[in-house]
Structure 1
Amino acid sequence: MAGGEKVDYVFKVVLIGDSAVGKSQILARFARNEFSIDSKATIGVEFQTRTLLIDHKYSCMVVGGWVGNWADASTKYGECGYRAVTSAYYRGALGALLVYDITKRQSFDHIPRWLEELRGHADKNIVIMLVGNKSDLEDERAVSTEDAKEFAEKENLFFLETSALQATNVENAFQTVLSEIFKIHSKKNMAADPKVNGAAPSLAGKKVVVPGPAQEIPKSKCCSSM
């Protein structure tokens, strides 16, 4: 977006899943169109932002965050700090990417636990996308597309396989989640105020508070000191 343009909405989308499944790479690809071969494991929470158009009309800033292995975070922060970090991480999230590595079966087997934690902390209307990352490593596949589709259908989740390396479906995953968030809250707004006809829906109370104007927000902000 050009500098000076106002942001109509701010949506928080979180990425969760086992360590090393590629959450940071997915977010970096979406936010900055970057991929780092030498990326190190994340412990704690980080956020990145990107502003884009939604419904070809409204300017929307997506605040995306990913987290490293909760076990490592628990060790780093202690039990009390761990609970505070997890609570702050999920607070205000309207969308989530639930990520596993298609070459690591264990990362997929842990998805039900991640989903339980997400649903236990996040908004009940949160939009969830199951993401099978590293689709470029087809020869090393350990999780079939059919298994993932079956799980997603059972849990009423969206589903896509992505490759952060090749930028495959990364944009599509965020756009799908964002469009669904917008659709849900537009309907809620219309139900609350029948007089609203075609006007930009009010999402008061659902915006993430981000300091300063949109163009001044850093593309990466470490929040591990929470």
Structure 2
Amino acid sequence: MVDYNQKIDYVFKVVLIGDSAVGKSQLLNRFARNEFTLDSKATIGVEFQTRTIVVDQKTIKAQIWDTAGQERYRAVTSAYYRGAVGAMLVYDITKQQTFEHIARWLEELRSHADNNIVIMLVGNKTDLGSLRAVPTEDGKEYAEKEGLFFLETSALEATNVESAFQTVLTEIYRIVSKKSLIANEEQGNGNTSLLTGTKLVIPTDNKQVTLEKKGCCAS
């Protein structure tokens, strides 16, 4: 359990992207409130929810953003991606087309977001296994090729939803804490030069942590 009187050490923004009706809002509701609504309506515009977790005795506030997958809302992209340090790239395992569109979503994500962003490819709706159109191996292979994490989930049955978000947030924390340690060591050695690479500033309690471009990693 999280002690809400405890100070927040980090705030991480994570975005949900993918075609309409793949279950992005349901994944968010399941993670943030442990809820699932059968008559869920399409998301209009942008909304976000938060949840606080503890990693390595540090309190992390996850700010999860959800937007509509319909083309007419794509104009929100640059503001939507700004400051994001994690992304859940979601497709529906029963709809081949939503998987085929992942490449386009990934290209958009990489053109708008920082190079350091941690990305999880999510094949949602495993509860509809009898209607599966996208083999698990296809998702795995694509994730490995692009250097993404990968999990299949069911928002309805709460399968792997917690694991997917926890993996992304823990990986973000690992990168941030590592870079923070390097920065502190450099200051201790009297080296005030900035870390090389693309810099991503994340507010933490009156501190700023600078991230450097990392190598890819896959689960």
TM-score with structure 2 setting the length: 0.84
Contact preservation (8 Å) 1:43, 1:72: no
Question: What's the CA shift for 1:73?
Answer: 1.4
Q: CA deviation at 1:58?
A: 0.6
Q: How does 1:136-215 map to 2 (within 5 A)?
A: 136-194=127-185, 205-207=201-203
Gaps in structure 1 of 5+ consecutive residues: 75-81, 198-203, 210-226
1:28 aligned partner, one-letter code: N
2:62 aligns with: 62
Q: Is the CA contact (8 Å cut-off) linking 1:94 and 1:123 kept in structure 2?
A: yes
Amino acid at match of 1:60: I
Which aligned pairs between 1:40-51 and structure 2 lie closer than 5 A?
40-51=41-52
Distance 1:125 1:141 in 2: 32
Mapped to 2, the partners of 1:31 and 1:24 lie a distance apart of 10
Query: Is contact 2:45–2:68 with CA below 8 Å preserved after alignment?
Result: yes
Task: Tell me the SS of whatever aligns to 1:10.
Answer: strand
Distance of 2:167 and 2:140 partners within structure 1: 16
Aligned-pair Cα RMSD in Å: 2.0
Query: What's 1:94 paired with?
Result: 85
TM-score, normalised with respect to structure 1 = 0.81
Task: Please name the residue that 1:131 is paired with.
Answer: 122
Q: Secondary structure at the match of 1:205?
A: strand
Matched residue SS, 2:179: helix
CA distance in 1, matches of 2:70, 2:161: 24
User: Residues 193 and 68 from structure 1, CA distance in 2 versus in 1: closer, same or farther, beyond 3 angstroms?
Assistant: same
User: CA 1:116–1:6 in 2, change beyond 3 Å: closer, same or farther?
Assistant: same
Residues of 1 paired with 2:140 and 2:164: CA distance?
15
Unaligned runs of 5+ in 2: 189-199, 206-219
Counterpart code for 2:81: Y
Secondary structure, in 3 states, of the residue corresponding to 2:77? Answer: helix
Q: How does 1:94-113 map to 2 (within 5 A)?
A: 94-113=85-104
The letter for the 2-side match of 1:172 is S
Q: Which residue of 1 aligns with 2:197?
A: none
Report what 1:25 is aligned to. Answer: 26
Q: 1:187 to 1:26 in 2, by over 3 A?
A: same
Q: Secondary structure at the match of 1:180?
A: helix
Q: Percent identity?
A: 65
Q: 1: CA distance between counterparts of 2:111 and 2:140?
A: 23
- Structure 2 CA distance for aligned equivalents of residues 67 and 100 of structure 1: 14
1:70, distance to aligned residue in structure 2 (A): 4.1
Q: C-alpha separation between the residues in 1 aligned to 2:92 and 2:156?
A: 13
Structure 1, residues 138-185: CA drift from partner, whole Å, max 9, x if none?
Answer: 000000001111100000000000000000000000110011101111
Measured in 2, the distance between the counterparts of 1:142 and 1:206 equals 39
Instruction: Report deviation, 1:196.
Output: 8.9
Once superposed, which parts of structure 1, at least 4 consecutive aligned residues long, lie more than 3 Å away?
none
Distance 1:126 1:205 in 2: 12
Deviation at 1:189, TM superposition (A): 1.4
